[in-house]
A and B are shown apart, each in its own frame.
Chain A
């Protein structure tokens, strides 16, 4: 029970509880603020898992850039608080949710049981040893950025290039979608 372990558990429980708080907010802006707190907690968990570059990117890209876009759109729409509706769930929906949660718990505990009783080797992996063909997670952790870059630009180069095409398409698409109405007005005028 070292400090890393305790702080990881505390951050995980806080992130899980705040997720529940987030989906029950009435104001969109307070939900966005709670989501930023969740992302900060997850960044702390990434740091404890020795994924330091992932932790930094989580704060800069997610809590910084993406959430600013969300808050900007909320400001633009200027919506009133939403009325929460309770008790609108039918019995059929309750049954479906129960089946889904049961299947998820069974699958989760199967994997968990395998890890608890036979160790993580039961899933086909040997801890601390890379599978054949995979790039090992080198230590010290101070070389995290170097390892991520080596893997991203050598092993996953094609995926990286395709992601850049996806971002390009998203930028063009969002401009086209948001501009549509004004273009129609220009044609009508």
Chain B
């Protein structure tokens, strides 16, 4: 009989796979960033499950650090999207072949 956090690790695995598929198959940068949020949420779930499994608090603390990194990633990524939309009038990843603005 699996316990609650062990089942949570499997859900985390499943959500990570789905988020990875989103990052790989969507061409819209906005959707790619939303999929990255799913990836980070799956990692958070794994951290909290590991905290419960090992009986230590460390996993929950690392989960807060992941949350802070996700906030930074959202701020920088969305600023980049706005800058790209101003120069290219598009946020399709295929339209951004050249590195020069």
Contact = CB atoms under 8 A, between A and B. Distances in A.
A136 B18 contact: no
A82 B28 contact: yes
Nearest to A125: B54
Interface string A1-37: 0001100110011011001101101001001100100
Interface residues on A, range: 35 or more
Given A42-B45, A66-B71, A108 B53 contact: no
A73 B82 contact: yes
A15 B15 contact: yes
Contact of B4 (A4, A148, A170): A4
B10 A112 contact: yes
Interface residues of B, number: 68
A12 B7 contact: yes
B49 A135 contact: no
B46 to A, nearest CB: 11
Given A8-B8, A69-B75, A53 B60 contact: yes
A21 to B, nearest CB: 10
Interface in A152-189: 152, 155-156, 159-160, 163, 166-167, 169-171, 173-175, 177-178, 180-181
A101 interface: yes
Contacts of B61: 148, 151-152, 155-156
A49 B4 contact: yes
Given A12-B11, A15-B11, A180-B83, A51 B52 contact: yes
